[in-house]
Amino acid sequence: MISLLTRKLQVRSENENEIMIDMKNSLYDTLNTRFSYIKRQTSLMPATILDPRFKSKYLNSDELDLAMSEIISFLTDYDNNSALFRGTDNVSSVSTAPLVLSTSTSNIPQDKESLWDSHDNNPNQMDSAGSEDQKSVLKEKIESYLSEPLLQRNADIYCNWNSSPYPTLRKAVLKYLSAPPTSVPSEQLFSAAGQIYADRRNNLLGENVEKLLFSAHNMRLFNYEY
């Protein structure tokens, strides 16, 4: 929305006078000042490209690279953590199995190690080449997704993702396109409770206040006419 507004303010027509031009310039500068923080929010860029209605349409190359890096980093950590949890579950499930003790070869110089000595001395070391391959695969998936046509603006993006051929990217969608939390409903209840309690009604029981609040907020569902 901010990108659309700034682009619209940059458009000039022949019928504009100096006052209109000055007003547009002022609005343009104010928008850039007030919403400059958006470019620094690492969660907003991935949310933009994961929205199939917009993708990278309003992002420059640097912003696109930043968004892709953020998504790839999240998915890589997600997969690593999932593998760690699966490994923990597997260890727990076979805890009753006999333990096999391996002979320590940590005192062998590195240049004297055999292939299996190197394997035994570094059981948990991750192959950096495998990690880079994983990132390359994720980058290709994102680029393939971005190359597809944009979704219609009034389409349901969640239905689209449920049937999307990119199940890996759906993990990032759950993080970056989830509904933001809000405290508005609870604030409305507190406000209504403050209106019910008054100096002349300070003896109301909490149970009765709950009933009044429930009636006030749900009466409209029954099409009740006051």
Query: What are 171-224's pLDDT values in tens digits?
Result: 999 999 887 777 666 777 777 777 777 666 667 787 888 888 888 777 777 766
Domain boundary assignment for the chain: 41-89+126-176, 184-222
pLDDT tens, position by position, 34-78: 887 777 777 888 998 999 999 988 888 888 999 999 999 999 988
| Residue the block writes with tokens 């659309």 | 4
Residue 142's nearest CA partner among 81, 59, 84 is 59
**CA–CA separation, 4 vs 58, rounded Å?**
8
Average pLDDT over every residue of 131-142: 87
At residue 90, does pLDDT exceed 80? no
